[in-house]
Chain A
Amino acid sequence: QKEVEQNSGPLSVPEGAIASLNCTYSDRGSQSFFWYRQYSGKSPELIMSIYSNGDKEDGRFTAQLNKASQYVSLLIRDSQPSDSATYLCAVNPQAARQLTFGSGTQLTVLP
């Protein structure tokens, strides 16, 4: 069973702070990693993808991947109340064209 694990939270940070979200995965052959944002009652929205070890930055978001540790994270700088949502880690298992999702981390940014 290929698993993706996330701390369910809730995680609360003050406005302007850095939010750090973490994810581990079990399939060592996984090649592609994604962070989705999901507002309550809405569909997942892709915010970051990462494919190689290291950091990838896009605006206020930085994704970090460490394949040796089977760990992927998302940093949100200068957090805003509009960032309050559930963040889903998704992994593309080896030899598959579908994504396995974690249970999500609920983030609340306090004004």
Chain B
Amino acid sequence: EPEVTQTPSHQVTQMGQEVILRCVPISNHLYFYWYRQILGQKVEFLVSFYNNEISEKSEIFDDQFSVERPDGSNFTLKIRSTKLEDSAMYFCASLGGGNTGELFFGEGSRLTVL
């Protein structure tokens, strides 16, 4: 069964450093997403991406964040100048076909900022 894959599974970084989280969405899906879940809190929407541009973004997704699809398969989230409060699980998701709204999530990348 097709699945969303994410790398790395865990990244530890120093405050102020830049990190790039990578995702390979399901191949025939057209919408891609990044969500964040701080430990013990709810899953929060960051950004959606369609047709090589941002479709929607939340208030959390400020200038510190950027997304791109550098090639036909990878979808990346870049976090510049990381802060302690950026420590969280970051989930990539892609939208299934048929306009059902069903999102399929990757296993997540745990980011720890020290």
**A44-67 toward B: CB 8 Å interface, digit per residue (1/0)?**
111001010000000000000000
Interface of A, secondary structure class, is loop
Q: Is the interface of B mostly helix, strand, loop or mixed?
A: strand
CB contacts (< 8 Å) of A92 on chain B: these are 101
Using Cβ atoms and an 8 Å threshold, which residues of chain B touch A96?
Answer: 56
Contact A101 B104 (CB under 8 A): no
B95 within 8 A of A: yes
Q: What total of A-B pairs shows CB separation below 8 Å? A: 54
Most chain-B Cβ atoms within 10 A of its Cβ — which of A88, A92, A97, A103? A97
**A-side contacts of B56, CB under 8 Å:** 96-98
* Pick from B31, B55, B100, B107: contact of A43, CB under 8 Å: B107
A25 interface residue per 8 A CB criterion? no
Cβ of B33 < 8 Å from any Cβ of A?
Answer: yes
When the two chains form their complex, are residues B44 and A97 in contact, meaning their CB atoms are under 8 A apart? no
Q: How many residues of A contact B (CB 8 A)?
A: 22
> Roughly how many angstroms separate A99 CA and B105 CA in the complex, as a whole number?
12
Of B41, B43, B104, B108, chain A has the most CB atoms within 10 Å of the CB of: B43
Interface residues of B (CB under 8 A from A): 31, 33, 41-45, 48, 50, 55-56, 89, 91, 95, 100-108
A: residues with CB less than 8 A from B are: 31-32, 34, 42-46, 49, 51, 88, 90, 92, 96-104
Other A-B pairs beyond A43-B105, A90-B43, 6, CB < 8 Å = A43-B106, A46-B103, A49-B100, A49-B101, A99-B45, A101-B43
